[in-house]
Structure 1
Amino acid sequence: MATGTEPDLKSTGGVRGPARASIAAPHLRTDRWWLPPAATAAGLLAFVVYSSWRAFSDADYYAAPYVSPFYSPCLAESCAPMKAGPNWELVGSWWPLSPALIILIFPLGFRLTCYYYRKAYYRGFWASPPACAVAEPHRTYSGETRFPLILQNLHRYFFYAAMLVAVVLSWDTILAFRDEHYDWGHMGLGTLVFLVNIVLIWAYTLSCHSCRHIVGGKLKHFSKHPVRYRMWQWVGRLNDRHMLLAWASLVSVAVADLYVYLVASGVFDDPRFF
């Protein structure tokens, strides 16, 4: 229970300040506590490097009928050949740079402000804290009340944008049931890659804490809202696996982009099942 006499970390120099208990050991843990944050940092860094390379490359993002999830919907002037397919032929071509540089803002913003990803990169990159029962090295702490971390409050709005992105990727998955001549009723290995990716994207998006609050929040009596209550329970079960879905969807969207890149660059032809 708070008594009003607790030391303020902002004024006492963090956990090593004079107002805190003096403990010489940096921690009392004997396990390899540093492995999870190190692995998290390595995984996130690998995705950042890969997605940055693909975003700035502005090439090999379309192999009929597949379009990379990093580049859809394609808004750049260079997207005209893709739209001739037709993929999103009603979307205007006005962006002069790589289309990924504007499209990735929304899903990356959603992930950066995600509650799980906050924990992941706070521990992995900022060591705040690096692990349970391990002191963080920072002398001051302001939480998410100052810039830039106060921008984490935009998470709900990025959730709305992520829903729109998921709809776009769903349409791209439907379009993947075509051949290179845009005839329907065909299926290739890329179709399966896109199917797995969109299922994981939707599962991760709907497992979001904001989605759970939107579905079941601000209700005084669940008994009076049985539909929303059932939806809240379903989203809650997904939310239990939010961390797993976050990583699985991160890998799947990178794999989908890589698959399109390999086919578009001529490394191999897309195997067609029928």
Structure 2
Amino acid sequence: MATEAEPRTPRAGRAAIAERHLRRDRWWLAPAATVAGLLAFVVYSTWRAFANADYYAAPYVSPFYSPCLAENCADMKGGPNWALFGDWWGLSPALIFLALPLGFRLTCYYYRKAYYRSFWGSPPACAVAEPHRSYSGETRFPLILNNAHRYFFYAAAVIAVILTYDTVLAFRDADYAWGHMGLGTLIFLVNIVLVWAYTLSCHSCRHIMGGRLKHFSRHPVRYRLWVWVSRLNGRHMALAWASLISLAASDLYVYLLATDVFDDPRLF
């Protein structure tokens, strides 16, 4: 004769497991690689930003120093040099606009995930508990600044326009005559494509394209742009790293030319 099942009594607290997690794979490899990659870029870009030298080799200007708006900029004949800040700015001209692209990347949704997990362990990986006892989200300084991401997007778009202008100027030779294409021109072309792809794949850009539309059928152009940006957005992480590497590579190439390590190979 079947008997009625006894009701189960819920247990208080978590299961009695001594380990902090049950993962047996190399879950730490991804955050460790992120730490190494970001630290390498921070160290290199900090050195180059404060160097205040070897950032122009006609017709190429380092993306770290563009736009160059101080009077102490290198002589860029025919280049993007506008001394709007006059002679009172005595520091490296790279520091004038450094906060704009830096702020854009620091507040980027992907980079938040990257440094939250890798540097702060919040959490370090899926199914791995974080070491912090409390969580305040992005309601306190400095993380509350992440809410300004959409405004940094506008600034980053302006910087991308300026870097596009620099890329156009890269089609000149050392005597500033048009019709030249060197290896540096190709590097600058790849860099600006990646910079634009990363900038436009931003979540804020996707929201601008169609985030507030209630009827896509009434806005076919914005809908197509939203679809295109959404496809880019799916590759936002890859574009973030690729553009970061291309920026460093472009600056390094200009540095090697400026220090006479080699001459710019001419393609045509």
Root-mean-square deviation over aligned CA pairs = 1.3
User: Could you list the per-position Cα deviations for residues 21-59 of structure 1 after superposition, in whole angstroms to 9, with x for gaps in the alignment?
Assistant: 553211000100000000001000000000000011110
- Provide the C-alpha distance between the structure 1 equivalents of 2:83 and 2:209, rounded to a whole number of angstroms: 31
Residue 46 (structure 2) pairs with residue 81 (structure 1) = no
* Residue from 175, 197, 200 that aligns with 1:203: 197
* Residue from 239, 244, 247 that aligns with 1:253: 247
* SS of residue matched to 2:96: helix
Letter in 2 for 1:123: R
Residue 157 (structure 2) pairs with residue 155 (structure 1) = no
Instruction: Quote the residue 1:144 is aligned against.
Output: 138
- Provide the C-alpha distance between the structure 2 equivalents of 1:80 and 1:242, rounded to a whole number of angstroms: 35
- Unpaired runs of 5+ in structure 1? 1-17
Residue 116 (structure 2) pairs with residue 125 (structure 1) = no
Alignment of 1:58-207 (within 5 A): 58-79=52-73, 81-82=75-76, 85-94=77-86, 95-207=89-201
* SS of residue matched to 1:161: helix
> Greater share of helix residues, 1 or 2?
1
Instruction: Quote the residue 1:215 is aligned against.
Output: 209
Letter in 2 for 1:78: N
- Provide the C-alpha distance between the structure 1 equivalents of 2:49 and 2:27, rounded to a whole number of angstroms: 34
- Provide the C-alpha distance between the structure 1 equivalents of 2:150 and 2:218, rounded to a whole number of angstroms: 26
State the 4+ residue runs in structure 1 displaced beyond 4 angstroms. Answer: 18-22
- Cα distance, 1:272 vs. partner? 1.1
- Provide the C-alpha distance between the structure 2 equivalents of 1:121 and 1:23, rounded to a whole number of angstroms: 29
Alignment of 1:219-258 (within 5 A): 219-258=213-252
Distance 1:76 1:24, change over 3 A: same
Q: Is the 8 A contact 1:79 1:93 kept in 2?
A: no
Identity of aligned residues (%): 76
Largest Rg, 1 or 2? 2
Letter in 1 for 2:23: R
- Cα distance, 1:19 vs. partner? 5.9
* SS of residue matched to 1:79: coil
- Cα distance, 1:103 vs. partner? 2.1
- Provide the C-alpha distance between the structure 1 equivalents of 2:81 and 2:113, rounded to a whole number of angstroms: 40
Instruction: Quote the residue 1:8 is aligned against.
Output: none
- Cα distance, 1:88 vs. partner? 2.4
- Provide the C-alpha distance between the structure 1 equivalents of 2:266 and 2:84, rounded to a whole number of angstroms: 31
Instruction: Quote the residue 2:6 is aligned against.
Output: none
- Cα distance, 1:217 vs. partner? 1.1
- Cα distance, 1:67 vs. partner? 0.2
Letter in 1 for 2:134: T
Q: Is the 8 A contact 2:28 2:124 kept in 1?
A: yes
* SS of residue matched to 2:184: helix
TM-score, normalised by the number of residues in structure 1: 0.90
Q: Is the 8 A contact 2:71 2:83 kept in 1?
A: no
- Provide the C-alpha distance between the structure 2 equivalents of 1:22 and 1:226, rounded to a whole number of angstroms: 56
- Cα distance, 1:93 vs. partner? 4.5
TM-score, normalised by the number of residues in structure 2: 0.92
Q: Is the 8 A contact 2:107 2:146 kept in 1?
A: yes
- Provide the C-alpha distance between the structure 2 equivalents of 1:21 and 1:212, rounded to a whole number of angstroms: 42
Distance 1:68 1:81, change over 3 A: same
- Provide the C-alpha distance between the structure 2 equivalents of 1:250 and 1:188, rounded to a whole number of angstroms: 22
Q: Is the 8 A contact 2:68 2:81 kept in 1?
A: no
Distance 1:165 1:109, change over 3 A: same
- Cα distance, 1:77 vs. partner? 2.0
